[in-house]
Amino acid sequence: MSVRARLADRRIAVCVGPGGVGKTTTAAALALARAVEGGRALVCTIDPARRLANALGLTALGNVEARIPAARLEAAGLRPKGELWAMMLDVKRTWDDLVSRNAPDPARRDRILGNRLYQQMSSALAGSQEYMAMEKLHELAVERDYDLIVLDTPPTAHALDFLDAPNRILDFLGNDAARAFLAPAMGAGRFGLRLAQLSGAYAARLLARFTGQQALADLGEFLQNFQGMYDGFKKRAAAVRALLGRPEVGFVLVTAPNELALAEVLAFHDRLAADRMPVAGLVVNRLTPDLWTDEGPLPAPAELAALLPGTPARVPDRLPALLAAVLAEHQDLVRGERAALAPVLTRVVGACAMVPRLETDVHDLAGLARLSAWL
Amino acid sequence: MWTCHPPLASLSSLVADPTLLDRHLVFVAGKGGAGKSTVTAALALLAARAGKRVLVCEVNAPQPRIAALLGAEVVGSAATRPAIHVLNVQPAEAMHEYGLMVLRFKAVTHAVFENRLIRYFLRAIPSLAELVVLGKILHEARSRGPQGPRWDLVLVDAPATGHAVQLLRVPSALLDAVPAGPLRHDAEWMERLLVDPVQTAVALVTLPEETPVNEALELDAQVRGVLGMSRAGLFVNAVPASRLSPAEVAALAGARDAPPPLGPAVRAAALASIRAEEARRHLARLRAALDLPTTLLPLLPSVGWGPPQVEAIADAMARAWRGDEEAA
């Protein structure tokens, strides 16, 4: 069964995998395929390559979905029965929306949005992108009626970061040790350190030397303003987590046939299984096509020389040896890839799409359509 | 930070244009997946073969790779093989170490920096993690033993493009923001060492493909503009060998669908030729835009990576450099 077929009864597809394996392209191709078949499909990408973004018309977009004009699809030779929508996640704006929804009053909202540390954190804190990608997915799943939402996920240093990000960020926002450390700033409105609790002036001297007093003051103010909103955030994160375990969701593991990428995808697969998250399938991009399905040994140069067009006398000397060498190298690569893939294929449940290395980068709608035929 | 030793004197400042391995500190930077770790490991091998004492730093790597690539023995966050020392520089450890240098007493350091809180502040305060990590690396680069510099060469397997620039610009950002004082003093010597073209340089790593080439060009512009650092060279990884000429492939087109063994051999040749052509196109784009000594490294027909592959890449580097000398 194809990955597309496995996704036919799902409303949400989450593409996960290491960076540089064609995750964004795969996500876009899956959405396009559903649109062509007659559904309303949305692809939500994080950081698409410029030419793919142009192809999807994403350049002018903010944090909202936009429909790819039917004329643009028709110009690429496609006759979609449904609609293709696309959006690019704006991490900062998603944070701002979340804060605005949870703030008890406008004054508190403005104090948080204006806090320097918050501004830095909402765009730069590790895990922030992953957290907001899930937050946005929840909003889209609950408030819109797409037949299929395909979420592209940010490349993580470690694949598991994606699932852990919300907890890590929540731990950051609700860290009691830090709140205690910065407590005097909260009550008095003036900044100071509760030195007695932490071996006195050493801590103050050292931290302030690194950060300056202002950064610590910003942090204290931020934590103070955030108190009380924490429970709302926590409930929301739990809801997002619950959504990801529902049967209408399908995780799509995207990888390339090299050891590093495969090890990462396998770790992710095992983690999804342990957390009872539904895996829809595996997409292996950039596979080298097997050209020697024969059981027999690879040809020697002399064998090829005898078969080359033209009389043997006119065949240049180097050609048979080169052809034999190129085929042997090619098949070495094939064997290596298959060997690296074998343990993954026996473990992964669900559909499996083997996509051959395409001859050029996929960067337009026609290219996406060709790719989707393999999925 | 780490001001225990006097700055290393620029003894080699008479050399006008030092080659990469004559530098003292080299940051290997490029897009994720472009092969930075492999290039870093191969450079370490070549330097060690030339009799240099080498320190290789990974930056907060969740899964350190250099030690395995070099076949080195791992002890905690450090690993060694003869003449090469490998270190995974992690923010929390670097901050502890710094605390020790300032506070002198281990017990006090632990009391001050209860681990959970350190990790918290490293995440919460912008650029703090970068500062301690870069400080640790630069401290190593200028630390001295009884007989002179402790390391002849410090190689850094830098994080992916954007993060590498963030890391390297911390000292100059501090100079903009911090008034006179000990922190400013630290930022000053760090910045001086980074922009010293004799001692320090960035080596760019890329692949002959669309996105990696674009990113290499952007990184190069940032290294020159934002960072003002010297560039020691460009490494292009996984360059496919050009076997048959396009004309030869075209002449064989009729045999593509021939039965085995000829058909498969011709199809393999056609695929190889397409890849080589694509690579040539992107290389031409790189060369037109970047005026840098460029080292092409072969695409190895291998899926797994370990010491034999790194040795092969180091040999290819050495061959490429010798070829340049002969040509010149």
* ipTM score: 0.76
pTM of the model: 0.80
Which of residues B24 and A176 earns the better pLDDT score? B24
Query: Residue A179 CA to chain centroid, in angstroms?
Result: 33
What is the number of structural domains in chain A? 3
**Rg of the Cα trace of chain B?**
22
> Coil, strand, or helix at residue A76?
coil
**pLDDT (0 to 100) of residue B262:** 92
> Does the beta-carbon distance from A309 to B302 stay under 8 Å?
no
Q: Is B266 touching A (CB cutoff 8 A)?
A: yes
Higher-scoring residue by pLDDT: B25, B180: B25
Asked if B29 and B203 touch (Cβ cutoff 8 Å), the reply is yes
Digit-by-digit pLDDT tens for chain A (375 residues) are 899 999 999 999 999 988 778 888 899 999 999 999 999 999 998 776 666 777 776 766 567 898 999 999 999 999 999 999 999 888 889 999 989 988 989 998 999 898 877 887 777 676 788 888 888 999 999 999 999 999 998 776 555 667 777 777 777 777 777 776 666 544 443 444 443 344 444 555 566 666 666 667 777 778 778 877 888 888 888 888 889 889 999 999 999 998 878 988 888 898 888 888 899 999 999 999 999 987 789 999 999 988 887 655 555 678 899 999 999 999 988 998 999 999 999 988 889 999 998 766 777 898 899 999 999
User: Would you call A259 and B255 a contact, using CB atoms and an 8 Å cutoff?
Assistant: no
H helices present in chain A, as ranges: 3-6, 23-37, 50-56, 70-75, 91-102, 106-114, 116-124, 128-143, 161-173, 176-181, 183-188, 201-226, 230-244, 259-274, 301-307, 318-347, 365-372
Q: Is the dihedral of CA B234, B236, B242, B246 positive or negative?
A: negative
Same domain, A159 and A218: no
Cα separation, B108 vs A203, in Å, equals 10
**CATH architecture for residues B21-238:** 3-Layer(aba) Sandwich (3.40)
**Is residue A296 assigned to a domain?**
no
Tell me whether A333 touches chain B (CB under 8 Å).
yes
Q: A193 and A86: one domain?
A: no
B92 touches chain A (CB under 8 A): no
Once rounded to an integer, what is the mean pLDDT over residues B101-105?
61
Distance, CA of B267 to CA of A334 (rounded, Å): 14
Query: What is the distance of C-alpha A75 from the center of its chain?
Result: 29
Residue B34: enclosing H or E segment and its boundaries? none
Instruction: Give the Å distances, CA to CA, from A178 to A183, A224, A247, B118.
Output: 8, 11, 39, 10
Q: Of A207, A226, A245, which residue is a domain's last?
A: A226
Same domain, A187 and A309: no
Total beta-carbon pairs less than 8 A apart between chain A and chain B: 155
Residue B32 φ/ψ, nearest 5 degrees: -60, 135
Task: Point out the residue among A292, A307, A359 whose CB comes nearest to the CB of B262.
Answer: A307
Task: Identify whether residues A106 and A116 lie together within a single domain.
Answer: yes
Structural domain contains residue A341:
no
In a domain, A342, yes or no: no
Residue A120: its chain B contacts at CB < 8 A? 126
The answer as to whether A236 is a domain residue is yes
Identify whether residues A118 and A87 lie together within a single domain.
yes
Nearest neighbour of A202 by CB, restricted to B108, B126, B262: B108
Place of tokens 């907001």: A132
Q: Are strands A148-152 and A12-16 parallel, antiparallel or unpaired?
A: parallel
Is residue A104 a part of any domain in this protein? Answer: yes
Helix or strand holding residue A355 (H, E): strand A351-356
**Contacts with B, A 16-45, CB within 8 Å:** 18-20
Same domain, A142 and A257: yes
Q: Are residues A159 and A196 in the same domain?
A: no
Instruction: Please tell me whether residues A219 and A137 are part of one structural domain.
Output: no
Strand boundaries in B141-190, DSSP class E = 144-145, 148-149, 153-157
| Cβ atoms of B66 and B41 closer than 8 Å | yes
Give the three-state DSSP class for A363.
Answer: coil
Torsion of CA A87, A93, A98, A102, to 10 degrees: -140
Q: What is the pLDDT of residue A133?
A: 87
A208 touches chain B (CB under 8 A): no
For residue B83, is it left (φ>0), alpha (ψ between -120 and 50) or beta?
left
Cα separation of B140 and B201, whole Å?
16
Contact A359 B274 (CB under 8 A): yes
Question: B278: which chain A residues are within 8 Å (Cβ-Cβ)?
Answer: 359-360
Cis preceding linkage at B261, omega within 30: yes
How far apart are the C-alpha atoms of A325 and A93, rounded to whole Å? 55
In a domain, A59, yes or no: yes
- B110 vs B96: CA distance, rounded Å: 8
With cut-offs at 50, 70 and 90, classify the pLDDT of residue B4: very low
What residues in A contact B125, CB-CB < 8 Å?
Answer: 210-211, 215-216, 219
Percent of chain B exceeding pLDDT 90 equals 48
User: 């960035």: which residue's tokens?
Assistant: B202
My answer on whether A245 and A214 are in the same domain is: no
CB A17 within 8 A of CB A348: no
What value does the mean pLDDT of chain B take?
Answer: 83
Burial class (CB in 10 A: 0-12, 13-18, 19+), A189: exposed
Q: Are residues A165 and A184 in the same domain?
A: no
Note whether A131 and A158 are same-domain residues: yes
Domain of residue A322, residue span:
301-336
* B252 near A CB under 8 A: yes
Pick the residue from chain B with its C-alpha nearest to A178.
B117
Asked if A125 and B123 touch (Cβ cutoff 8 Å), the reply is: yes
Strands B84-89 and B54-59: parallel
| A104 shares its domain with A166 | yes
